Homo-oligomer: A and B are copies of this chain.
């Protein structure tokens, strides 16, 4: 998502949600850290196990996973004015914080386990907003079997709300990037572009799809699309020449194109925050069998978006249209 820095209206406006309040009795500074942590434990409910497995000691103490698996770690955050604005309900912000990280675990073919959350709160942070944020996070955690086992709370400057979440997991067969060869086909789940219209905070991370693509042995390389296909496809293939098929452009990308002055294709490859899976099948894969196997299991659409013509390529990454002509360069989402 491009930064949507909005100035929230007064809290009385029921359509807008601000993490901050001028009402001192509702501010985080009115209760102090110990009480806040007690509240956070309540808000997290069942996804917060008793100490020392969960919140309450210097570290969370958890059993070691299956020693024949690989351990996975990822960290990703959300910030006010950057990843959400006053149009996003607080539950959806909590949901998105975990969802971004779940999508990373999914893209390795992994199973998520435990999370810790670092919060940076203005003294003016609104406790009601915060409760709804944590309840959204807890609901998402419960849905995916994640336990929130610890965290940290620090004071931030005025009008700053930042939350980082570190998620761990494990997998038996991690699906890495940069494993493609000529003839491999490239696929995406779902549709691309226009996530700023809502999908950026309502998306479902593709957990079962990712796990199945790893365990079944079908996929050979995978990542999630978070910065737009234009940036993430080169990250998956490395320096390669890829011939592109028609992309599954979302209705939202087409809708944004009616007013943005940009094409729907531009939105599909640059918008970011799709949180779809991008994966490669080996050239030896019998595609009809794969597609049948997929559709027997999932309603999620998949689309072949291209084929690797040359990899590794000495001249870097290039994509060509179906007639072999170079495609316009696409940078994806640039963070700075």
Q: Which residue numbers of A lie inside 8 Å of B, CB to CB?
A: 3, 28-29, 31-33, 36, 51-52, 56-77, 79, 81-83, 103-105, 107-108, 110, 114, 116-118, 120-121, 123, 149-157, 159-160, 162, 164, 166, 168-170, 174, 176-177, 223-224, 334-336
Contact = CB atoms under 8 A, between A and B. Distances in A.
Contacts of A31: 336
A81 B335 contact: no
B52 A176 contact: yes
Contact of A168 (B65, B68, B73, B335): B73
A79 B73 CA distance: 23
Given A33-B335, A336-B33, A73 B62 contact: yes
5 contacts: A33-B336, A52-B174, A57-B108, A73-B116, A116-B166
Nearest to A36: B336
A160 B120 CA distance: 11
Copies of chain A in the complex: 2
A77 B118 contact: yes
Of A64, A156, A166, A335, chain B has the most CB atoms within 10 Å of the CB of A166
A118 B116 CA distance: 13
B64 A150 contact: no
Nearest to A234: B34
Given A60-B73, A61-B176, A166-B166, 13 more contacts: A28-B336, A51-B176, A56-B177, A59-B72, A61-B108, A63-B71, A64-B65, A77-B164, A82-B154, A121-B336, A154-B335, A155-B335, A164-B164
